[in-house]
Amino acid sequence: MKKILIGFVIAVLAGFGGCVALLTYGKTSGEAAARQFFQKVEATELTAIPELLHPALKEAADPQLIAALVKEIPGRYGQFQSIDWNGMSFSDNVGPKGREQSYEGTMVFAKRPLKMKLSFQDGKLVGIHLTDLAVSKEVVAAIAVIPPDKVPYQKRAESFLQELINGDLGRAFGMMGEELQQKIGQDGFGKMAATLRKNGKVSKFEFVRSQPRAGRNDKLDVIFDCAFPSSKQKAHVSFQFLALRSGLMEFAIPSDLPGL
């Protein structure tokens, strides 16, 4: 990938005319890409922002938390104004994966400048990095809460229970967060599943509700009624939201949540 550091462009390019043309192109494409993206973010409802994200980014992190992150930036720091091209680096190439654009340096917002890197693939956001550690911590802390749309977690929870009781244990184990995987281990998980499966297959997982854990705004409990052949038992699957990820961190059948 061809990458040009604006601060050194005169030194690495032969010919003054080429330098001016490249610098003008970089400014035009960079500011247009960043401006268009943040304009779309400001004009789009939070629940629809994942449509602006590239599938690779949605796979690498929770798309709803990424949506909250990019919504929080103009909400907290004001509208995007321009790019400070002093020290900015950029690349813009068309290759096997399509058009890939990357801009790293200082982005100027209405309330303050922010050091960040934005990467796009065919117009979709594929990467965002706030390089100022203090700003990054501030923004990530603000969004480490339960997203407004809980349906994706309901679906993930039901898929997990289905694999755990009726399906593939390997897939079920892979759905859990790393911390829970390490805590239980594959052998322990297999023993737990074997005990549950003695009750027979579940004919229906009936969604009951999703609710925040008492006293927590970063943990979501998803509750189901599980119809075993000879009994109905309540189950819960819990997700924790931290650092742009949503991990499946707890489950119990029968559920031991208070009030169920």
User: In a structure prediction context, what are the per-residue pLDDT tens digits for the chain, which is 260 residues long?
Assistant: 333 333 323 233 333 333 333 344 444 566 788 889 999 999 999 999 999 999 999 999 999 999 999 999 999 999 999 888 787 888 888 888 889 999 898 999 999 999 999 999 999 999 999 999 999 989 988 888 899 899 999 999 999 999 999 999 999 999 999 999 999 999 999 999 999 999 999 999 999 999 999 989 999 999 999 999 999 999 999 999 987 889 999 999 999 999 88
Name the residue ranges covered by the structural domains of the chain: 4-143, 151-252
Name the H helices within 54-168: 55-60, 63-77, 133-143, 151-166
CA distances, 140 to each of 68, 164, 242 (Å): 9, 32, 8
Predicted pLDDT at 85: 79
Residues in the chain: 260
What's phi and psi for 95, nearest 5 deg?
-140, -160
Taking the CA atoms of the chain, what radius of gyration do you get in angstroms?
Answer: 23
Q: What angle do CA 107, 79, 146 make, to 5 degrees?
A: 95
User: pTM here?
Assistant: 0.79
CA distances, 122 to each of 40, 54, 100, 105, 199 (Å): 15, 9, 6, 21, 50
Which residues does residue 21 pair with via DSSP β-bridges, in sequence order?
A: none
User: What's the CATH code, domain 151-252?
Assistant: 3.10.450.100
Q: In 10 A of CB 218, how many CB atoms?
A: 14
Q: Is the peptide bond before 74 cis (omega within 30 degrees of 0)?
A: no
Class in CATH terms, 4-143: alpha beta
Torsion over CA: 174, 177, 183, 189 (sign): negative
The structure tokens listed for 213 are 């854990």
CA distances, 197 to each of 103, 163, 167, 173, 229 (Å): 52, 11, 10, 15, 11
